[in-house]
Structure 1
Amino acid sequence: CPCHVQIYNQGVKSYRDLPLRMAEFGSCHRYEPSGSMHGIMRVRGFVQDDAHIFCTEEQIEDETKIFIDLLSKIYSDLGFKEFKIKFSDRPTKRSGSDKIWEKAENALMNATNAAGSAFELNPGEGAFYGPKLEFVLTDAIGRDWQCGTLQVDFVLPERLDATYVGQDGNKKRPVMLHRAILGSFERFIGILIEENAGNFPLWLAPIQVVIASIVSGANDYAKELYNKLSENNLRVKLDIRNEKINYKIREHSLKKIPVIYAVGLREVENQTVTIRKLGNNATETQSFPQALENLMQSSLIPK
């Protein structure tokens, strides 16, 4: 956070420059008690999508709405249609006067209400420098995890002497909004894996399709298809091992590969592929150009 203030402080800023938004993927280290760590849900070293917005007091409401809309869109694209918002106010140990805290709490609460977002109170759980909104996801087994956050900070800009020139020509203090959408990347990936039981949508799957040969005579055709899929930026794996096709299908299905293309001598002759989709025992045969077009359409990232 102080680093972004120092970047902001390079040169004179005008009210016309605000809001000014900065973002980074920052490596963080936190000495968590050994008993609290498990898997990738809580770790001592993690990456955070850290960002800060420098704005005027009048812009807090609009920036809050923009952020909540952005977070809602990203969560929805990743399959989380619902989340909870908690409003965390001043903790016992804090920086800044009660007057500044009351100002920050009112600004954030009014902005959240103006954005049309319902929230529940979380007394005493704010950051030491300002109140915050916590965006909480519930995982597949009912546990709540704080992921996104939005914090209003009047303290740090004052301590590090951040200013801008207002419309009246006088120097003023900007407000600093701390925000993260995913929070800890590791934690969010863990929640995502559990929510989908590893069965990711096609656009998100690490490997989108496997090309498995049925007989060795189809290996060259399988390699040809592999190259064409790779050229179209699809994440593909080639399996031409000397194993039975049922063995290959079972293995890749257990690994949650969304699509398997099985190719044998008949497919080589007809220039087709036999398609098997995860969770569906039925197969379908298509010409390779048609299969490629369908796969590319299905793998488009949500917009």
Structure 2
Amino acid sequence: MIPAPFDYLAPESVEEVLAALAESGDDAKVLAGGQSLLPVLRLRLNAPEKIIDIGRIPALREIHEDGEYLAIGAMATHDDVLHNALVTEHALLLHKTLVEVADPQIRHRGTVGGALVHADPAGDLGAAALALDAELVIAGPGGATRTVAAKDFFVDIFETAVQDGELLTQIRIPKHTGWRAHYEKFVRVAHQWAIVAVAATVRMDGGTISEARVALTNMGSTPVRAASVERALVGKPATDDGVREAATLAAEGTSPPSDLNGDAAYRKHLAGVLTRRAVLAAAGE
């Protein structure tokens, strides 16, 4: 199948994008890396009258330090971020997560901002953003910008805090320098969407976990923070016995889907198993 006809725009600034969105209203879609949008267009599940390609705005691909934050442009590709030394140093969990995203071809085209705005609950980056306490910078009409915490950014399946006429421009991550991290993803087939996955990052004091951040993929309509696990891990030794009890709390408060890959009970069991593996792998690095 081929997409329905549409007009194509390629603005060269954020201001031009916002102007085009204001003019087009609901009839336009923003094209970032296209790895989510293009299949939808080909299947004609959506038929916008206008496509606004934001790939010609260099500022949206920048990755730099900003005080105590790491700032990542929304158009930075998965590959850009995966191989950036600042990300590895200050947001290791994001690096570890991107290793597990699809394959090299998709990582070279897909963008971090595009994946977050798409907000697929089985997508990998949402859990990492949530665990890292990321902030999402959104530009709107008239040059206004607002910053939304990751915990408030994901509203529902395929729905975020980005409103009509707005554009995600940057992801800001508090530096987690020296924190260890791991992303444990369970799939039946290579490069598949996660059946369940766990993003874990920990700060160690010798052999003891002094702080922990844990978030779950595909355990609800949005990424889920495992706050009970985080609290239970503090002060625990980074051993199987020390982590196992805390990991049993992983599914607390979750509402996982049931589908051909497994029912909700199966996913809740997986969440506990994968959380234990993720935390032990992170702490052991």
Q: TM-score range by the shorter chain?
A: under 0.3
When normalised by structure 2's length, the TM-score is 0.24
Q: What TM-score do you get using the length of structure 1 for normalisation?
A: 0.23
